[in-house]
Amino acid sequence: MGQPHRIGIIGLGVISAAYLDTLRDAPAIVITAVADLNEERAADVAATLPTATAMKVAELLASDQVDTVLNLTIPAAHAEIALGAIAAGKNVFTEKPLAVTMDEARAIIDAAQAAGVHVGSAPDTVLGTGTQTARAAIDAGLIGRPMAATATMVTPGHEAWHPHPDFYYLPGGGPLLDMGPYYVAALIHLLGPVQSVIGAASKLRDQRTIATGPRAGETVAVSVYTHVSGVLEHQSGVLTTITTSFDSRATTAAHLEVHGDVVSLVAPDPNQFSGEVLVNDPETQRWNPLAASAGYVDAARGAGLLDFVAAIAEGREPRANGAVALHSLDVMTALLRSADIGARVEVSSSVERPEVVPLTEKSEWRGDTSSV
């Protein structure tokens, strides 16, 4: 067996705990370094990881003890950290979105290609049994020819639960760029790339009040759209109606529905790895669940990084790859541009759908070898 792949983590905010739960004892990787602008926080996290050293960000980027940088910084810093890692000859796997702008995202992809390193990106939730079982059913022709889809994400806003929600209301945030990547990536896996969009958007109010944590009662300024709706025209001809909102309290709509010319299918929340896939019986009109048939079983944040590491070792394309992240960002920024100009916008990029994930037990996708 080869040595575990060495991971350095930059950015130790709220989401890092979910990644660490998956990665800290995964045999396929070893966390060798952690860094954060808050150096005390980095030291505290390193103390929980016997293999990791707390470093400054620049030290981690330059370290010869890191093969891949896991970039968990805020969206505005994604490009700077990714380009720094690539310049140091390292692979990078970043939280979503890949970058704040398409210029930054293309710079990341181009730099990685020139350097001969790999780029991966969240969301990796699409690799779980929920989205992948829906993908397998559609690919098998269970619903007939896909004709249309709906994607719905509504919430009153992250200030209700996040102690430091400022960045959700800055460029790179908002409901579309924050939560939209889960939905757009799932739609790419299910229905393929998007060729054009029509969008409309609004902003309910200029300030948000933090509801929890040490800053409860403080207000944060809102500089982005907080409700975005639109239509995505897939290259296959499927039309998806999408709504993402930080201005709505609740909905009875399914997160994702795909309508074929035979039956309709409901896919689970793409922000979760698992969940029930339902198919409508046209005779009884009942929604019947499908047994999980594809995807990483019991997956959690970090599963995509482990797929990324395995793909590098195996010489295949990672499923949560930079090309999907680039196309997802292209779709979302095109929607925002369409909302600004009030016209249909062509999406400049395209992408191949990643390979479906075979039904894979947790011990296998984690790289456990104790039973071998």
**Percent of the chain surpassing pLDDT 90:** 95
Instruction: Give the mean model confidence (pLDDT) for residues 63-90.
Output: 97
Instruction: Give the mean model confidence (pLDDT) for residues 204-229.
Output: 96
Which tens digits make up the pLDDT trace of 330-342? 999 999 999 999 9
Q: Helix, strand, coil % (nearest 5) of the chain? A: 35, 25, 40
Instruction: Give the mean model confidence (pLDDT) for residues 320-333.
Output: 98
- All structural domains of the chain, each given as residue ranges with its CATH number in brackets, are 5-121 (3.40.50.720), 125-290 (3.30.360.10)
What's residue 219's pLDDT?
96
Type of residue found at 14: V
Which tens digits make up the pLDDT trace of 181-214? 999 999 999 999 999 999 999 999 999 999 999 9
Which tens digits make up the pLDDT trace of 264-295? 999 999 999 999 999 999 899 999 999 999 99
Q: At what angle do helices 303-314 and 16-23 cross, to 10 degrees?
A: 50
Smallest Cα–Cα separation from 333: which of 157, 106, 163, 134? 106
pLDDT confidence of 370, banded at 50, 70, 90? low
Backbone phi and psi for residue 167, each to the nearest 5 degrees, phi listed first: -70, -15
pLDDT confidence of 372, banded at 50, 70, 90? very low
What's residue 367's pLDDT?
87
pLDDT confidence of 371, banded at 50, 70, 90? very low
For residues 147 and 238, the answer to whether their CB atoms sit within 8 Å is yes
Instruction: Give the mean model confidence (pLDDT) for residues 66-92.
Output: 97
Distance of CA 329 to the CA centre of its chain: 11
What's residue 95's pLDDT?
97
pLDDT confidence of 171, banded at 50, 70, 90? confident
Outline where the chain has alpha helix (H): 16-23, 39-47, 57-62, 75-87, 102-115, 129-139, 174-191, 303-314, 322-341, 362-366
| pTM of the complete model | 0.95
Instruction: Give the mean model confidence (pLDDT) for residues 335-362.
Output: 98
